[in-house]
Amino acid sequence: MTPRKIIIDTDPGQDDAVAILLALASPEIDVLGITAVAGNVPLPLTEKNARIVCELAGRPDVRVFAGCDAPLARPLVTAEHVHGKTGLDGPQMADPTMPLQDQHAVDFIIQTLREEPSGTVTLVPVGPLTNIATAFQRAPDIIARVREIVLMGAPISRWATSRRRPNSTSMSIPKPPRSSLPPVCLWLSCRWMSRIRR
């Protein structure tokens, strides 16, 4: 079986770290690159954490790219209260020695989708969608070339839909204009895990 080509777009975060470890260990997946975005912690920490996780997995060959350092339309809100000051608080891990790529993450996404055969690359955003949105805005021609978007969305729960986070679920689902691009949403919820196709 031919491994599925994916780009992981991430803001590690302990949850994203586990997702990256699982993807890098799977023979069914070919990780073309990891693109970091600001989210759980600021961008300098998310790109560093992505490289730490790659080295932890024994995969320093995987290329890591730094992307957008803030959302498109609002200030950055981080989650150190969940993931700790570094985003990977807990076990002590050495600083990464593998290099950060010079290319911007958005440019890498655009270039990869244009160079790989159409319909062969899956985007896997497990953090804010800023890099993906920026790539689609800059290069709308790549939208039709994406095989699938598999994303981790907000929780479907009373807490998520309460007044504290009224837009958490509605903002998770990408809606590319005039596109048949099929998103697969994996909702982040301990009690209600569901796979939704549209």
169-185 pLDDT tens trace: 333 444 444 445 555 55
- Check if the beta carbon of residue 67 is closer than 8 Å to that of residue 105: yes
Kindly report, residue by residue over 108-136, the tens digit of the pLDDT. Answer: 999 999 999 999 999 999 999 999 999 99
Kindly report, residue by residue over 65-118, the tens digit of the pLDDT. Answer: 999 999 999 999 998 888 888 889 988 889 999 999 999 999 999 999 999 999
What's the CA gap between 134 and 155, in Å, rounded? 24
In three-state secondary structure terms, 148 is: strand
- Is the pLDDT score of 193 beyond 60? no
- pLDDT given at position 175: 43
CB atoms within 10 A of CB 116: 15
Element (H, E) at 43: helix 43-56
Q: Which tokens hold the place of 1?
A: 């079986």
**Is 11 a known active-site residue?**
yes
- Boundaries of every domain in the chain: 4-197
Note the maximum CA span of the chain.
Answer: 47
Kindly report, residue by residue over 5-48, the tens digit of the pLDDT. Answer: 999 999 998 889 999 999 999 999 999 999 999 999 999 999 99
Q: What is the DSSP string of 16-34?
A: HHHHHHHHHH-TTEEEEEE
- Check if the beta carbon of residue 66 is closer than 8 Å to that of residue 36: yes
Eight-state DSSP code of residue 181: -
In three-state secondary structure terms, 161 is: coil
- pLDDT given at position 84: 84
Q: Which residues on neighbouring strands pair with residue 31, listed in sequence order? A: 6
Active-site entry in 9, 11, 30, 61: 11
What is the reported pTM?
Answer: 0.82
- Is the pLDDT score of 159 beyond 80? no
In three-state secondary structure terms, 179 is: coil
CATH number of 4-197: 3.90.245.10
